Amino acid sequence: MRPYLLLTPGPLTTTETVKEAMMSDWCTWDEDYNVGVVENIRRRLVELATSRPDEYTAVLMQGSGTFCVEATLGSVVRPADRLLVAANGAYGKRMGVIAEYYRLQCHVMKFDETEAVDPAKIDAYLTEHEDVTHVSVVHCETTTGVLNPLSEIAAVVKRHGKTLIVDAMSSFGGVPIDMAGLGIDFMISSANKCIQGVPGFGFIIARRSLLEQCKGVARSLSLDLYDQWAAMEQGRGKWRFTSPTHVVRAFMQALAELEAEGGVAARHARYAENHRTLVSGMRALGFKTLLPDEVQSPVITSFYYPSADFDFKAFYTALKTRGFVIYPGKISQADTFRIGDVFPQDFVRLTEAVKETGF
User: 237 vs 340, which CB is nearer to ligand PLP?
Assistant: 340
Helices 245-261 and 263-284 cross at an angle (nearest 10°) of 80
Q: Which of 53, 65, 173, 183 binds ligand PLP (CB under 6 A)?
A: 65
Query: Which residue type does 358 have?
Result: G
Nearer to ligand PLP, 9 or 298 (CB): 9
Least separation in angstroms between CB 102 and ligand PLP: 17
The three-class DSSP label of residue 279 is: helix
Q: Closest approach of Cβ 190 to ligand PLP, in Å? A: 5
Site for ligand PLP in 149-208 (CB under 6 A): 167, 169-170, 190
Give the one residue of 34, 75, 142, 196 binding ligand PLP; rule: CB under 6 A. Answer: 142
Contacts of residue 250, defined as CB under 8 A and 6 or more positions apart, other chains included, come to: 14, 18, 19, 21, 22, 191, 197, 198
Stretch in the footprint of ligand PLP (CB under 6 A) among 62-70, 225-233, 244-252, 305-313? 62-70
Nearer to ligand PLP, 8 or 243 (CB): 8
DSSP letter, residue 30: S
Smallest distance, ligand PLP to C-beta of residue 48, A: 18
**Is residue 131 packed enough to be buried (19+ CB in 10 Å), middle (13-18) or exposed (0-12)?**
exposed
Answer whether 223's CB lies under 8 Å from 279's CB.
Answer: no
Please, which of residues 2-21 interact with ligand PLP by CB under 6 A?
9-10
Residue 310 amino acid letter? F
- Cα separations in angstroms, 255 against 52, 102, 126, 297: 19, 34, 38, 22
For residue 149, the Cα-to-chain-centroid distance in whole angstroms is: 15
Q: Does 91 bind ligand PLP (CB under 6 A)?
A: yes
> Does residue number 59 form part of the binding site for ligand PLP (CB under 6 A)?
no
Indicate the residue among 45 and 138 with the shorter CB distance to ligand PLP. Answer: 138
73/354 with CB nearer ligand PLP: 73
Closer to ligand PLP by CB, 116 or 169: give it: 169
Which segment (61-69, 224-232, 247-255, 329-337) binds ligand PLP by CB under 6 A? 61-69
Q: What is the Cα–Cα distance from 95 to 73, expressed in whole angstroms?
A: 8
Q: How far is the CB of 345 from ligand PLP (least distance, A)?
A: 25
Q: How many CB atoms lie within 10 A of CB 164?
A: 23
How many residues make contact with ligand PLP (CB under 6 A)?
A: 12
For the chain, what is the total number of helices (H) and then of strands (E)?
Answer: 14, 14
Beta bridge partner(s), residue 188:
167, 204
Pairing of strands 186-190, 82-87: unpaired
Rounded distance between C-alpha atoms, residue 115 and residue 149, angstroms: 11
Q: Decide: is 136 part of the binding site for ligand PLP (CB under 6 A).
A: no
Q: Which is nearer to ligand PLP, 64 or 243 (CB)?
A: 64
The site for ligand PLP (CB under 6 A) is made up of 9-10, 64-66, 91, 138, 142, 167, 169-170, 190
